[in-house]
């Protein structure tokens, strides 16, 4: 008996958000806040945004941190909760894609059509 395994090694879908993008949060407690993308997790479709979604972690005293206490740290948020802010027109926008003549793919602002940086 042969088991048919439908297992494609899929590469995670590239995120429309890149590191160092400015994004605005469109839902949740941080709605309306803007921040810079510090880290992306394509597999999880999550990102860490500077100053957004702080969580408090209680830590025990350790050598590094003899007091222990509460550390505030950004937690990843799902990309569906943010929109990229276009650096050209300053609007939160959806990201479009364009293929250039040389075959390279770029990201474009759907509001003003300007190029964001390379995809």
Q: Is 112 in the site for Zn ion (CB under 5 A)?
A: yes
Q: Do residues 49 and 77 lie in contact, with contact meaning Cβ atoms separated by under 8 Å?
A: yes
Q: Is 118 in the site for Zn ion (CB under 5 A)?
A: no
CB of 84 to Zn ion, least distance (A): 9
CB of 21 to Zn ion, least distance (A): 13
| Nearest one of 115, 89, 92 to 104, comparing CA atoms | 115
Q: Is 85 in the site for Zn ion (CB under 5 A)?
A: no
Q: Is 89 in the site for Zn ion (CB under 5 A)?
A: yes
| Of 15-23, 41-49, 52-60, 105-113: span binding Zn ion (CB under 5 A) | 105-113
Q: Is 36 in the site for Zn ion (CB under 5 A)?
A: no
CB of 111 to Zn ion, least distance (A): 4
SS3 53: coil
Strand intervals (E) in the chain: 22-25, 34-41, 46-49, 54-59, 69-74, 77-78, 82-85, 92-93, 95-99, 105-109, 115-118
Q: Is 111 in the site for Zn ion (CB under 5 A)?
A: yes
Residues that bind Zn ion (CB under 5 A): 86, 88-89, 109, 111-112, 114
């Amino acid at each position: 008996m042969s088991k048919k395994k439908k297992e494609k090694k899929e590469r995670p879908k590239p995120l429309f958000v890149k590191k160092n993008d400015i994004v605005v949060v469109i839902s949740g407690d941080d709605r309306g806040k803007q921040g810079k993308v510090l880290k992306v997790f394509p597999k999880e479709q999550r990102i860490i945004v500077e100053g957004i979604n702080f969580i408090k972690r209680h830590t025990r005293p350790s050598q590094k941190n003899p007091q222990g206490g509460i550390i505030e740290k950004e937690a990843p948020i799902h990309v569906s909760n943010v929109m990229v802010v276009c650096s050209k027109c300053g609007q939160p926008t959806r990201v479009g894609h364009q293929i250039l003549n040389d075959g390279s793919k770029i990201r474009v602002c759907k509001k003003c059509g300007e190029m964001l940086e390379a995809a």
